[in-house]
Structure 1
Amino acid sequence: MKPETAVIDVFGKHSIYLEHYKKDEAAKTIIMVNGAFATTTSFTQTVRYLRDKVNVILFDLPYAGRSKEFNVNGKIVTKEDEVDILQYLIDRYRVNYLMSASWGGVSSLLSLARRPPTMEKAIIASFSPVINTAMRDYMADARTFLSLGDAASAAQLLNNTVGRYLSNLVKSHNFNYLLNSVKGNEEQLIFHINQIFEFDQKQYMQQFSSIDIPILFLNGELDEYTTPAEVRVLSEHIPQSEFAVIEKAGHFLDLESRHLWRTMSNIIREYFFESEERNYTAVQSGFNTALGQNLAFAEAGD
């Protein structure tokens, strides 16, 4: 199924390339929110296990992917701009579900804190509000390469660090994609990195506390950059929060292997669409959340 595509004007300020996978008019709608360096193509595999259940919205930020050619004014896109864009799309398409990846979690949580009336549930994947040593080192090195105009080293750095569990084939595609997306975007990406370094955990936590829908935080067991342990601080601020650990997965979760793709598809479909019937094993661990539960999921019989 090919998506309908459009370029959406947002407040006369941004032009947003959008893909709309339509199931039918009666179906609910999910929006996917990219992380840093990512575009609509990052969710290609995820769409495969969602499109038979819901309408799916994918979009590129103004400086990324297919939106880039429509935003040639060179204006820096701030985190506040990202939140405004996401909020506009949620309202326009009456979105019911949200799923984000990596640093797309910041704009997603800030948008959810505005309590959009149509929103019912969200999954925030590979995100942590804690800037740990591994993440800090990675971002510092990426900023250095970008400052030097060394896109190849920036691309290789991502493959060697947060992407270390990707297959060689995916790493090769990743490298070529990053070479093309980084060139000409160095100023924007450095700005984005600086925003991450300046992440005010206390300030954002206060806003996150306004979120009033169920949220599942999904992290890879092997991810050193957004660890399963560190994300659990959010349980103190988001009342309806749950936490799942994907065993043997790194930062990129369902992109890392066929097995992890199946595991993720089961968890995501169950959480959004089949909450009454769990088709996989839920293992209790020692962490406490606001719901009194912390789940580590694995496919039953796999």
Structure 2
Amino acid sequence: MTPAQFKPLKIQAGDASLTVHIAGSGHPLVLCHSLLADRTSFDRVAPALAVTFQVIAVDLPGFGASPAVTGGLAAVADRVAAAVRALELREPPIMLGNGYGGFVTLQAAIRHPGIAQRLVLADCGACFSEPGRAAFRGMAANAQEGGLAAVADVAMRRLFAPEYQAQHPELITQRKERFLALDRATFLQACEALAALDLRPELASVQVPALVIVGEMDEATPPAMSRELAAGLPQARLATLPGCAHVPQLQEPEQFLAAIGEFIGLPRPA
């Protein structure tokens, strides 16, 4: 079977725009990427998903061809929700977010009930610990002074465990290049938003099934955050992925697909 070809589409929602990349047919599945790894972090799973689903891979505001927004995480979530509505999908999508994209997805579900049929929240949470908040403040300060290059190595450490980096130098070089292409103002705003984030009081309002998954070696959003998130959502289950860090769909695509398959309705391999 020939892999699906993803086609870019600029969505206009009022005076705002967002670029998505679409392939496949079937039930709509929206993919929202991490802060440290752009839309291409789904490249190892998106073609397989597009065999069954209409996959909509988002360039979040400030990434790729999508203009940046001001107003913090809520404004990002509102723009994503507006784009989903503007697509006039035949049914509410499954929304899958990784890292920063998971926080955006969760915020969209809180602020826009009915925007999604179900959620996959990968390596995120509802609130960072104080050390986690301090890490974002530190990255922002260093990036403000020295640009994204000053935090690129830290970013890679947050994405992948050191052992994995040593075994996959070409991938790390590629991911570092993608990170350095990010709009610095978007990065700084996101760090500020994540350092202040606390969605715990609003979790009970999310009345759709959710799958919370986390890499057991995730240093950026440690497993304790996912456990807290799953416990706070009314209809959530938790899955931990052995050996994975912050971007399991990039590190271990087959394991990632197996973990989400039953929940999203992905057919089992023959």
**TM band (smaller chain):** 0.7 to 0.9
More helix as a share of residues: 2
Instruction: Check conservation: 2:52, 2:266, Cα contact below 8 A.
Output: no
Equivalences for residues 112-191 of structure 1 within 5 A:
112-114=109-111, 116-117=113-114, 119-132=116-129, 135-164=132-161, 165-166=164-165, 167-181=168-182, 185-191=183-189
Which one-letter code corresponds to 1:125 in the other structure? A
CA offsets per residue over residues 33-82 of structure 1, 9 Å max, x none? 12214332121112022111110011212321122xxx4xx763521221
- Classify 1:11/1:100 alpha carbon distance in 2 versus 1 (closer, same or farther; 3 Å): same
Separation in structure 1 between the aligned mates of residue 115 and residue 105 of structure 2, nearest angstrom? 15
Uncovered stretches (5+) of structure 2, i.e. residues with no partner:
none
**1:269 correspondence with 2:261:** yes
Separation in structure 1 between the aligned mates of residue 122 and residue 8 of structure 2, nearest angstrom? 25
How does the TM-score come out when normalised to structure 2?
0.86
Separation in structure 1 between the aligned mates of residue 69 and residue 47 of structure 2, nearest angstrom? 34
- Classify 1:242/1:66 alpha carbon distance in 2 versus 1 (closer, same or farther; 3 Å): same
Identify the structure with bigger relative contact order (alpha carbons < 8 Å, sequence gap 6+). Answer: 2
How far residue 99 of structure 1 moved from its aligned partner, in angstroms, is 0.5
CA offsets per residue over residues 131-150 of structure 1, 9 Å max, x none? 23653453233212211133
**1:254 correspondence with 2:246:** no
**1:8 correspondence with 2:11:** yes
Uncovered stretches (5+) of structure 1, i.e. residues with no partner:
280-302
- Structure 1 residue ranges, 4+ long, deviating more than 6 angstroms after superposition: none
**1:86 correspondence with 2:80:** yes
How far residue 273 of structure 1 moved from its aligned partner, in angstroms, is 0.6
Q: RMSD between aligned alpha carbons?
A: 2.4
Equivalences for residues 223-262 of structure 1 within 5 A:
223-256=218-251, 260-262=252-254
- 2:203 corresponds to which residue? 208
- 2:63 corresponds to which residue? 64
SS at match of 1:266: helix
- 2:190 corresponds to which residue? 192
- Classify 1:274/1:21 alpha carbon distance in 2 versus 1 (closer, same or farther; 3 Å): closer
- Classify 1:230/1:61 alpha carbon distance in 2 versus 1 (closer, same or farther; 3 Å): closer
Instruction: Check conservation: 2:143, 2:149, Cα contact below 8 A.
Output: no
How does the TM-score come out when normalised to structure 1?
0.77
